[in-house]
């Protein structure tokens, strides 16, 4: 992404200058006036690198606002940095815009992106804009820093570790269904606040960067929950060569999710198998749980112990649901 400071320039230059230069105040970005960013990494740190694009009609609804798209595009990447224990350092933005995206949408997009970049300490450093004949696609590559060799891996869970999640599980999957069919709110006995909360959880994730350093200090294994709790847990335990035993009665549910589940018990599969939670799933040695939980609470992040890691291979086992969940080996979302 490079846009000229003034002068004639192209339409792309003007678009970048108008909407994105105001976000690019970090010196590494050169005001988006050059061809690349030059970032000086802190001594002794690894760069944690992640790219997770979002596509209209795939990762967000095609009529979504510029504000929500911007926040989701950045936050799905921030969520990965948090789960790996990294502090955000910056991001690159590649924007593929269909012809029907206009100035008002872009203005809202850039304003929200700037707010989130500021709030999460993750400045825009560069990028690219193109027109596309296809759907709106926002490709963000985020990078973070942490002390060399300390990225929290998927493969570190050990028998005896506790399984812990941040926030509440299943809200976004329910929110997506509500967004598509608002009539479900009545069937699920949701009051308007509950319904709005679930939809908001789908539209705009709340990445847990506030506890990234705690994850790095205390967790044996971690990943963010983007493709569903059950599926992502299965990935973590497979990578670690262990099993997990989960007590579903301990799964943290928001009031809306709890009400919906009471009205329609079959929603348990949606709650544990649906995607877009963007919470952190991590494993902790028993001696680490208290310190982690106390510090997370001080950072205003709910953490809940939902199970334990056991020796041996195999899919996670679930108790506390009266046998309702039988097929949780591969319920997570996959594009293929």
Q: Which of residues 107-146 bind a second copy (CB under 8 A)?
A: 125-135, 137, 139, 141, 143, 146
Residue 33-52 contact track with a second copy, rule CB under 8 A, x = bound: xxxxxxxxx-x-xxxxxxxx
Reading the block at residue 101, the tokens are 């995206």
Interface with a second copy: number of residues (CB under 8 A): 82
Q: Does 189 bind a second copy (CB under 8 A)?
A: no
Q: Are 309 and 243 in contact (CB under 8 A)?
A: yes
State which residue, 136 or 198, has the beta carbon closest to a second copy: 136
Q: Does 80 bind a second copy (CB under 8 A)?
A: yes
Hey, how many other C-beta atoms are within 10 angstroms of the C-beta on 162?
A: 20
Q: Does 262 bind a second copy (CB under 8 A)?
A: no
State which residue, 189 or 334, has the beta carbon closest to a second copy: 334
Q: Does 70 bind a second copy (CB under 8 A)?
A: no
The minimum distance between CB 239 and a second copy, in angstroms, equals: 6
Q: Are 132 and 98 in contact (CB under 8 A)?
A: yes
Candidate ranges 77-85, 192-200, 202-210, 261-269; the one touching a second copy (CB under 8 A): 77-85
Q: How far apart are CA 98 and CA 75, in angstroms?
A: 22
122-132 core/surface letters (b: 16 or more CB in 10 A; e: else): bbbbbbebeee
State which residue, 148 or 324, has the beta carbon closest to a second copy: 148
Reading the block at residue 58, the tokens are 């795939």
Listed residue (229, 236, 137, 245) closest to 174, CA to CA = 229
The minimum distance between CB 186 and a second copy, in angstroms, equals: 31
If phi > 0 it is left, if psi is from -120 to 50 it is alpha, else beta; for residue 158 that is beta
Listed residue (262, 273, 253, 266) closest to 188, CA to CA = 262
State which residue, 293 or 332, has the beta carbon closest to a second copy: 332
- Out of 24, 73, 81, 185, the only residue in the binding site for a second copy (CB under 8 A) is 81
State which residue, 239 or 289, has the beta carbon closest to a second copy: 239
Q: Does 27 bind a second copy (CB under 8 A)?
A: no
* Opening angle at CA 178, ends 279 and 73, nearest 5: 45
192-251 residues in contact with a second copy (CB under 8 A) are: 223-224, 227, 231, 235, 238-239
Residue 148-177 contact track with a second copy, rule CB under 8 A, x = bound: xx-x-xxx----------------------
If phi > 0 it is left, if psi is from -120 to 50 it is alpha, else beta; for residue 314 that is left
Q: Which residues on neighbouring strands pair with residue 164, listed in sequence order?
A: 282, 305
State which residue, 147 or 265, has the beta carbon closest to a second copy: 147
């Amino acid at each position: 992404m490079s846009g000229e400071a003034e002068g004639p320039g192209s339409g792309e230059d003007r678009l970048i200058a108008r909407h994105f230069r105001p976000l690019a105040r970090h010196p590494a970005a050169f005001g988006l006036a050059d061809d690349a960013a030059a970032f000086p990494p802190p001594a002794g740190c690894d760069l944690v690198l992640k790219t997770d694009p979002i596509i209209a009609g795939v990762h967000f609804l095609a009529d979504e606002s510029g504000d929500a798209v911007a926040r989701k595009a950045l936050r799905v990447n921030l969520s990965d940095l948090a789960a790996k224990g990294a502090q955000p350092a910056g991001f690159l933005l590649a924007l593929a815009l269909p012809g029907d995206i206009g100035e008002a949408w872009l203005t809202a997009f850039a304003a929200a992106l700037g707010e989130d970049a500021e709030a999460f300490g993750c400045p825009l450093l560069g990028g690219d804009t193109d027109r596309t004949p296809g759907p709106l696609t926002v490709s963000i590559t985020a990078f973070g820093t942490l002390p060399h060799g300390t990225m929290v891996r998927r493969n570190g869970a050990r028998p005896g570790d506790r399984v812990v999640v941040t926030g509440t599980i299943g809200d976004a999957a329910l929110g997506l269904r509500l967004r598509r069919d608002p009539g479900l709110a009545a069937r699920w006995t949701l009051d308007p606040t509950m319904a709005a909360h679930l939809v908001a959880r789908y539209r705009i994730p709340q990445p847990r960067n506030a506890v990234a350093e705690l994850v790095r200090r205390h967790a044996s294994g971690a990943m963010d929950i983007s493709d569903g709790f059950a599926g992502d847990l299965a990935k973590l335990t497979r990578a670690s060569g262990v099993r997990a035993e989960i007590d579903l009665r301990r799964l943290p549910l928001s009031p809306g999710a709890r009400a919906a589940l009471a009205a329609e018990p079959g929603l348990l599969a949606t709650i544990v198998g649906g995607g877009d939670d963007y919470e952190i799933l991590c494993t902790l040695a028993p001696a680490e749980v208290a310190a982690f939980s106390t510090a997370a609470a001080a950072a205003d992040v709910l953490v809940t112990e939902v199970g334990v890691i056991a020796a041996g291979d195999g899919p996670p086992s679930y108790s506390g649901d009266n046998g309702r969940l039988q097929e949780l080996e591969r319920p997570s979302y996959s594009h293929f």
